[in-house]
Structure 1
Amino acid sequence: MSAAEFAAEFAAAQWTRATGVGVDPHEYRRVTDRLTSVADWEPSFLRTGQAYLARAEGAGSPTTAGEYLLTAAGWFHLATLAPHAEAGRAALAADNALGRALTLLEPGARRVSGEGFTGWLRGPAGAPGTVVIVPGLDSAKEEFLDLVSALLARGLAVFAMDGPGQGVLAATTTLRPDYEQVVSRVVDALGVARIGLVGLSLGGYFAARAAALEPRVAAVATVSGPFRLDWEQLPEPVRDIMARRTGGDAAAHEFARHVDLAALAPRIAAPLLVVDGGQDVIPGVTNGEPLAGAAPHGTYLSVPHGDHLLGNARPDWLPHLADHLTHALIGARA
């Protein structure tokens, strides 16, 4: 396979993930069609994001500027997905663009940071419930804005976060399996008595683990989350990303060994929704059905045509997930 063919294959694999971030699908194709190698991915996506920063500077209103900045944040985040990309410049650019956008579009949004986490709390003051969104292996708080919007529309407050080894913190910290400790500090910092928790991809493991061990988690959902990982069977690209995010091959192997929810699933007392895509088949990854079966209040939703993170099937699960959390936290569907 030529370098250009590999770049095209990689771009196709990221297609539904990119559209979920909110970038224009036609522009995504224009940008990726020009790639001659995956080495071009990061600089091409950075240039596209920077063009939106320039548009924001010349915008005719704060709202338009904020919208351009949100788009820039999406392109900068996608820049971090290139194979062998190191955490750093693109993640920082995404973080800065998101912060500038929310300052313009939602003056009430609040940056909340603490040991091992940072993120944005959005939604009405005094909201009847608060949901924390946990990203995965190479995702970040900039990726799941459509999920944030669905929860905000139902009257909830939402804290989209980066944890250790994630997003803007990936350059200075490493992934850790005991994510429940991070979630506990988040709940303390938010000053709420209970939270809903959503974890996406590897974040599904983090969320389920936290729900088993942190009693203030009152509702939980996972999307494409692993029940168990088998290091020896994981594809090389996944092991490479995990090694970069954990600090090396040995650390990644040890991290993967901890990703096993068999003992913790029966301890999840909160209502749990597990969402999987039927087309999401990754060697070495046991998907979420056993988690839903072992949790006392687990429900399983499998979307047959869904891919990883189900970016190609949002209407089939996203409203249902948002309603699940709303009902569990405040007892009513919006």
Structure 2
Amino acid sequence: MRILISAGEASGEMYGAQLIEALRNCVARAPSPAGGQLEFFGVGGERMRAAGCETIVDAKDLAVVGITEILSHLPKIYSLFDKLITEADKRRPDLAIVIDSPAFNWRVARQMQKRGIPVVYYVCPQFWAWRQGRVRLLRKYVNKALVIFPFEEKFYRDRGVDATFVGHPLADLPKPEIRREEYAAQHGLDTAKIWITIMPGSRRKEVRMNLPTILEAVAQLGSAYEFLLPVAPTLDWGRMQNLIGTNGAIHLIPEALPALAHSRAGIIASGTATIEAALMGTPFVMVYRVSPLTYALGRPRVKVPCFAMVNLIAGKEVVPELVQAKFTAQNIL
């Protein structure tokens, strides 16, 4: 069975890798696999490649955010989209699975539907938060929606989408078992100091908008602290090193969960990282900034009172949210 799978950002790419491994395990356990061997190709990154997916388009090349930012990248995005669809026409997949990234993936879904290929949307767009009219795209181009928050199932079903709640993919991840001393030795950390995880985002534009203010806050904290910065797979390690400069208190880390598990607190950009911090039991402040034009165009469309998912689930602000003008070094501290 040949499956096109498209995940255009760091969190979706992680979910895609988990899904590929789970599907392979299901086939391996089946007494007489009806679909035979599974073949995956599409959009992804290092984790999906490690899971056995042939990436026609690298997720790094789609990692843009914001209305104005997307507009400047449109020619490149359309070129990558055409490359993916051309490959799909050659390979004729039996199924298409698209993960999050609605700006790119609903177009993938539309093209697959036109070709008679069934489409599953895993980790559906948060249309309940904004642009609710776009639910019609799911209704039209998606055969099955797999949602990760309980309230999403009713929201989509009430609007004619065949949706099923399957649980959040991060909920099954075990808490890292590595001891603090061993973790410190691996990454050159001082166990006598207080560790704080900083996560400015998984896209280059997010990092440019969020990291400078986070670094201002870091500079105001004393020598009693060390800072762990997990580098998302969609980001370049060397570029991140250049951005933090020679600040020896900041350590680049390959994985987020161990860093969060061993940190006293976190400064976390809005997104999946806030869920990771909550699951690890790490207190954090949520921060986020986009361009003034992107914010002015997008804010009136937002239908929910909070940005952080933990606050939305709780129905109140349980973690501070510092967005746009409120996002300052002083407010972080």
- TM-score strictly above 0.5: no
Which entry has the higher C-alpha Rg, 1 or 2? 2
State the TM-score, normalized to the length of structure 1: 0.30
| TM-score (normalizing by structure 2) | 0.30
